[in-house]
Amino acid sequence: MPARRKFTDEQEREIASQYPEKSTHRLAKIYSTPAEIISRIVSRQGGKVKSNSEASRKFTDEQEAEIASQYPAKNTCQLAEIYDTSAATISRIIGRQGGKVRSKAEGHRRFTDEQEAEIASQYPEKNTNELAKIYSTDAGVINRVIKRQGGEIRSNGEAQRRFTDEQEAEIAAQYPEMNASELAEIYSATAKTIANALERQGVDRCPADGYGDSVQHAINGTGHHQHQRECELYLFELARYSATHCKPGISFDTDNRADVSKGEYGEEVLRLFFATRAEAYFLEQAILDATRGSADYPADLAGWAGHSEVRAMPATDMVPTILRLAEELEELGQWEFAARYTPAAP
């Protein structure tokens, strides 16, 4: 017995007549039905459903060429503002036009050589977190400035013991009423530094007190999501398994993340920029879910912190999936995208 169709012939013709002026996702929302059904209706009515990359492209080929020609004289954020779009869209346009978006280390140095020399001269009397706060940047940026100026960054054990025993006891007394991320904000430190202080004070950390990436953190604006900061989604080949394995992820500072990967990150294949951590986080979860059939890692990476996100596939094979989902995120918006792709999202 054939499945019962939700719409009459007349209704299907009406729906199809609105495409492609209205996208399949927009029509799905209007008619309270999945986008896949809209696609089948358009096809039954003799139409051709455009691919995600065709449907979501805001600019003509000529406009994209014009945008790409201005890079890197103007960075992705500046171009996004000029063309009333997102930095992620600009990144994809540059990629489609045969360019490569530069890393922050290459294309987004915010300090002059004189300013970098001034910053480096204050280290280690002021630690990297203090300097980051003074210069309104991230500790990872300060680390790179110091290295470029010929300085040597102290080891974690040396640099992160920034509190006296009395101060650490004071911090520990406020836990778990305040979690590690909240204490880090109060004491102008990193969550890792607070965690080390708690460990030295013999405090058992609550399992739920992670570093702040979950659907609930995104909803509540807590953890990593408590500040409106640009966040990056990246894709790296694995250094020792470049032809067979790759790793996607998100970070406020991808360059620093690569620096501390214990040499396991190889060639950077893709980087997209987002205005908030939540957008990058929901996209990351969708990518990991879409590629879960390839979730596997070499045995010698079993103890590596990033092993659960490793995928047994060449990085170039993952790029189309990432770009397709990124375009859908842009079209749907972060919360509708999250509801579609992330369990337990509203």
Element (H, E) at 269: strand 265-274
Mean pLDDT of 301-318: 87
Q: Identify residue 266 by its one-letter amino acid code.
A: G
Q: Which of 117-131, 246-260, 298-312 has the lowest mean pLDDT?
A: 246-260
Q: Which of 65-74, 128-137, 141-150 has the lowest mean pLDDT?
A: 128-137
In the sheet where 246-251 sits, what is the strand order?
246-251, 231-238, 265-274
* Helix axis angle, 334-341 to 277-290, nearest 10°: 30
pLDDT above 70 as % of the chain: 80
This prediction has a pTM of 0.48
Closest by CA to 55, choosing from 337, 340, 332, 338, is: 332
d(CA 4, CA 9): 13
Tell me which of 141 and 67 has the higher pLDDT: 67
Element (H, E) at 283: helix 277-290
Tell me which of 85 and 337 has the higher pLDDT: 337
pLDDT higher than threshold 50 for residue 221: yes
pLDDT higher than threshold 60 for residue 38: yes
**Is there a contact between 234 and 254 (Cβ–Cβ < 8 Å)?**
yes
Phi then psi dihedrals of residue 184, to 5 deg: -60, -40
Maximum separation of any 2 CA atoms in the chain, in Å: 79
